[in-house]
Amino acid sequence: MSIEARREAGLDPARSGAGTVSEPGPPKPARRSRAADLFSKVAPPLIVFVAFIAFWYAVSYLFLEETQRFLLPPPHDVFIVSFLDTVNLTEILNALLSTTQVALVGLAIAIVIGVSFAVLMSLGKWVERSLYPYAVILQTVPILAIVPLIGFWFDFNFRSRVIVCVIIALFPIITNTLFGLQSVDQEMHDLFTLHKASRWTRLLKLQLPHALPAIFAGFRISAGLSVIGAIVGDFFFRQGEPGIGRLLDVYRAALQSEQLFAALFFSSLLGLVVFWFFGLIGHLLTRHWHDTAGQEV
């Protein structure tokens, strides 16, 4: 409460200090409460972040000898070496671009295949029964085991990396879409039956819209997985255009821990951005009607 009050008090002088003459008179309660609202949302993760950085410094300087400090370089070193050194930054960003391309193409293909398969499965119980076990197997096969095999078969190129992404991203899309299509209330189906709706009409006007929130939940999970697939594929292939996975391996081998941390940071950021992006699209499409559409990230 005192934090809140202090912040509230701090806000107004800051605003008037900016010299905004156009904003005289009474304070605006709506904006204030919105600021307080924002504060209550931002503050907790911010505190965790500060604590995390403090812990990082503590480990770097208190636990590690100077000779061991390469194991965990302090945050500002990481920042200086990787973000302010344009050579390093360019190298990392180029790799990131390559990885992003692989992940997005893989994700797009997984979405097309996954949604189509789910629709097919929803059309007939026998299709579901014959295909679903293989979707599960696809999910349970360790991706690390299958990556070399894909390299053998399809060569170590862009296409193979995309295939890895598709394999790893497919399952959540299939299961979530299928769940969405199948979870329509019986009464709704009755309604469409009474009006002699065709299978196609039922799918387009009832099942697909109903499934939209679940479908986007699947996209969100798969987007993160596709990024992981792109990095893992890259890490193991060690050929072709280097992505962020290859860089991780190179930095590790050369004990360039500052760059290693930066590469780690950027690859996490990529996963976060695609995850958030699909969350946003899903939210925009269903916010009028879906209860959980308000939840973000």
Contact residues for another protein, defined by CB under 8 A: 185, 187-188, 190-197, 201, 205-206, 209-210, 212, 286, 288-291
CB nearer to another protein: pick between 69 and 290: 290
CB nearer to another protein: pick between 206 and 221: 206
Nearest to 128 by CA among 181, 201, 164, 185: 181
Minimal distance, residue 289 CB to another protein, in Å: 4
CB nearer to another protein: pick between 197 and 250: 197
CB nearer to another protein: pick between 66 and 291: 291
Nearest to 20 by CA among 271, 28, 36, 199: 28
Minimal distance, residue 234 CB to another protein, in Å: 40
CB nearer to another protein: pick between 86 and 295: 295
Minimal distance, residue 209 CB to another protein, in Å: 5
Look at the alpha carbons of 249, 251, 253, 255 in this order and tell me if their dihedral is positive or negative.
negative
**In the numeric block, which tokens belong to residue 8?**
């509230």
SS3 33: helix
Minimal distance, residue 184 CB to another protein, in Å: 10
Q: Which amino acid is at 127?
A: V
Write the DSSP string, 103-144: HHHHHHHHHHHHHHHHHHHHH-HHHHHHHHHHHHHHHHS-HH
Minimal distance, residue 204 CB to another protein, in Å: 11
